[in-house]
C-alpha cells in the first residue's frame, strides 16, 4: 500500500490595496469595479457598506458582514480588525461556503498610510502563507491633487508606494489653467512613483485588468516577470526628470532631449521646486544593481543593518538577488519599512538578465548612503568606504556612516 501523496498547500491569493486621499474617488471606483464581470470570485473589503452603493446590484445573500453579489463578487466589512476579516474569508473558502476566491481587494480610509495594511499580511504567520501582496493602487484627484500633495505628507507617501496610479475627475479639467496644473501633476507623480502607470478613470482606463495582477507573477502563466515588476528603466528616467526640475529651480533648463516633456507647465514646475519644505523632496526612488553575486550572509546583514537603523525610512524595497551559494536560482525580496515579506526563491532566472537589482523608495534616506552600503556587501571596492567585514564586526559604525551621507 502506497502512502497518499502529500497535499500541496493552495496557491496564495493575490491581495491588492486601494488607497487615496479623502475625496479622491475610491468609492466611485469601487462601485464601477463591482459591476465588472472580471471581478468574479473577488472579495472587496470595505469599511462600511453604506459608503459603497451596492443597493442597485442584486444581493443574493447577506450574513455576518459579507454580501454576495449577483456579479460573483463579494463585499465584506472590516469586522473588529483586518486579520479577523481575512481569516474569515479563508474559513469560508476552506469549508466550502465560498466556491472560489481568486483575489482580495482592500479599500483604505482616506487618511491611511497603506504600510500597516501590508504589515498585517506580512507579519501574520498564517495569513502570509495564504495571501501574497500583489500591488498598491493609489487614486489622485486631478482637480485637487496638486494642493493635496502640497499639504498632506500621507498623500505623498500613498503616491510614492503605488504600483498603479489612477487619476480621477479628469473630466472636470476644462480650463487652460486646470489643464496646465494636471500636466504638472502628472510630471510630479512620475517623479514620485516612476514605475507606476498613470490611468485615467474618466477615460475608462481603470479596469480590473489594468489595476490588478501588478505583482511579480503573471496570472495567466504563473511565471515570474521580474523585468515588468521592477521596471528598472523607470528609475533611470526618474533621475533625469528630477535633475531637469532641479535645474529649472536654479535657473537652468537641463532638458534631456531623449525624452518628451510638456512645456505648458514650466512655470508651475518652477514654482513648486522652489519650496524647500515640499513633501516630495523627502522622497527618493532609485535602483541599485550589481553583476557580482551576493552571499546569503551578506544579504541578511545588509538588510538587517539597513532596517535596524532606518526601517521607517524604507517605504518600500523590492528586488531580485543573485546568490553566491546558488547563482542559478535567484531570491525575490519585498520589504515594507522594517518588515520583510517571506523571501521567495525562483527555480530559474526568468530572463537573460542575471544581475542583482534592488528598487528602493525611501523617505529622508539618500541613495548615496544606501549605495555605499550595498557596494560594501556585494564586494565592490569603494574609496574611503567600509567593507562588509568592517560593518559586520562593528554594526554601530552604520550610524556614523549614515551621518556622512545625511541618511
pLDDT digit string, tens, across residues 201-226:
999 999 999 998 877 776 555 677 78
Say whether both 211 and 345 belong to one domain. Answer: no
Is the pLDDT confidence value at 274 over 90? no
The predicted structure's pLDDT at residue 298: 94
Structural domain boundaries enclosing 122: 13-230
Whether residue 279 lies inside any domain: the answer is no
Whether residue 103 lies inside any domain: the answer is yes
Whether residue 349 lies inside any domain: the answer is yes
Tell me which of 234-243, 248-257, 331-340 is least confident: 248-257
What are all long-range contacts of 245-253, with beta carbons under 8 Å and residues at least 24 apart? 245/187, 245/191, 245/269, 245/273, 246/273, 248/273, 249/273, 249/274
Say whether both 218 and 342 belong to one domain. Answer: no
36 near 97, Cβ under 8 Å? no
* Angstrom distances, CA of residue 86 to CA of 26, 79, 89, 312: 21, 10, 5, 25
Last residue of a domain, one of 206, 230, 254: 230
367 Ramachandran zone, left/alpha/beta (phi>0; psi -120 to 50): alpha
Is the pLDDT confidence value at 70 over 90? no
67 falls in which pLDDT band (50, 70, 90)?
Answer: low
**Rg (Cα) of the chain, in Å, rounded?**
22
Q: How far apart are CA 51 and CA 30, in angstroms?
A: 10
Say whether both 188 and 305 belong to one domain. Answer: no
C-alpha cell at 299: 544579504
Say whether both 211 and 311 belong to one domain. Answer: no
Say whether both 220 and 357 belong to one domain. Answer: no
Whether residue 190 lies inside any domain: the answer is yes
Say whether both 27 and 173 belong to one domain. Answer: yes
Is the pLDDT confidence value at 256 over 50? no
How many structural domains compose the chain?
Answer: 2
Say whether both 205 and 351 belong to one domain. Answer: no
Say whether both 319 and 202 belong to one domain. Answer: no
What percent of the chain has pLDDT above 90?
Answer: 43
Core vs surface per residue 291-314: b (16+ CB within 10 A) or e: eebbeeebbebbbebbbebbeebb
Whether residue 127 lies inside any domain: the answer is yes
Residue of 64, 163, 150 whose CA lies nearest to 118? 163
Say whether both 131 and 219 belong to one domain. Answer: yes
Whether residue 264 lies inside any domain: the answer is no
Say whether both 310 and 211 belong to one domain. Answer: no
Whether residue 3 lies inside any domain: the answer is no
Last residue of a domain, one of 192, 207, 230: 230
Say whether both 218 and 295 belong to one domain. Answer: no
CATH number reported for the structural domain that contains residue 225 in this entry: 3.40.50.300
Whether residue 1 lies inside any domain: the answer is no
Say whether both 54 and 202 belong to one domain. Answer: yes
More confident residue, 46 or 345: 345
CATH number reported for the structural domain that contains residue 379 in this entry: 3.30.1220.10
Amino acid at each position: 500500500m502506497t502512502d497518499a501523496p502529500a497535499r500541496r498547500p493552495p496557491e496564495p491569493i493575490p491581495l491588492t490595496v486601494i488607497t487615496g486621499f479623502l475625496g479622491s474617488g475610491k468609492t466611485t471606483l469601487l462601485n464601477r469595479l463591482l459591476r465588472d464581470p472580471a471581478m468574479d470570485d473577488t472579495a472587496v473589503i470595505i469599511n462600511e457598506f453604506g459608503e459603497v452603493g451596492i443597493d442597485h446590484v442584486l444581493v443574493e445573500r447577506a450574513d455576518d458582514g459579507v454580501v454576495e453579489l449577483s456579479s460573483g463578487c463579494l463585499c465584506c466589512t472590516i469586522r473588529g480588525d483586518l486579520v479577523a476579516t481575512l481569516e474569515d474569508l479563508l474559513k469560508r473558502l476552506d469549508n466550502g461556503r465560498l466556491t472560489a476566491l481568486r483575489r482580495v481587494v482592500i479599500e483604505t480610509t482616506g487618511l491611511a498610510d497603506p504600510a500597516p495594511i501590508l504589515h498585517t499580511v506580512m507579519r501574520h504567520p498564517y495569513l502570509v502563507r495564504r495571501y501574497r501582496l500583489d500591488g498598491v493602487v493609489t487614486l489622485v484627484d486631478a482637480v485637487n491633487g496638486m494642493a493635496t500633495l502640497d499639504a498632506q505628507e500621507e498623500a505623498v507617501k500613498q503616491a510614492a508606494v503605488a504600483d498603479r496610479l489612477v487619476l480621477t475627475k479628469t473630466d472636470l479639467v476644462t480650463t487652460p489653467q486646470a489643464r496646465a496644473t494636471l500636466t504638472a501633476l502628472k510630471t510630479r507623480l512620475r517623479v514620485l512613483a516612476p514605475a507606476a502607470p498613470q490611468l485615467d478613470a474618466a477615460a475608462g482606463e481603470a479596469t480590473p485588468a489594468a489595476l490588478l495582477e501588478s505583482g511579480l507573477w503573471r496570472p495567466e502563466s504563473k511565471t515570474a516577470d521580474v523585468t515588468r515588476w521592477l521596471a528598472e528603466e523607470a528609475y533611470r528616467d526618474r533621475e533625469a526628470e528630477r535633475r531637469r526640475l532641479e535645474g529649472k529651480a536654479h535657473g537652468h533648463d537641463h532638458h534631456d532631449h531623449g525624452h518628451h516633456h510638456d512645456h505648458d507647465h514650466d512655470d508651475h514646475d518652477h514654482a513648486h521646486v522652489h519650496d524647500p519644505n515640499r513633501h516630495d523632496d523627502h522622497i527618493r526612488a532609485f535602483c541599485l544593481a550589481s553583476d557580482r553575486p551576493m552571499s546569503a550572509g551578506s544579504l541578511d546583514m545588509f538588510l538587517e543593518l539597513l532596517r535596524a537603523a532606518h526601517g521607517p525610512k524604507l517605504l518600500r524595497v523590492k528586488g531580485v538577488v543573485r546568490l553566491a551559494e546558488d547563482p542559478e536560482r535567484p531570491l525575490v525580496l519585498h520589504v515594507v519599512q522594517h518588515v520583510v515579506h517571506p523571501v521567495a526563491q525562483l527555480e530559474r532566472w526568468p530572463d537573460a538578465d542575471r544581475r542583482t537589482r534592488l528598487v528602493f523608495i525611501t523617505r529622508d534616506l539618500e541613495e548615496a548612503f544606501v549605495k555605499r552600503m550595498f557596494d560594501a556587501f556585494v564586494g565592490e571596492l569603494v574609496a574611503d568606504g567600509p567593507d562588509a567585514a568592517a560593518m559586520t564586526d562593528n554594526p554601530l559604525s552604520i550610524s556614523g556612516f549614515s551621518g556622512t551621507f545625511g541618511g
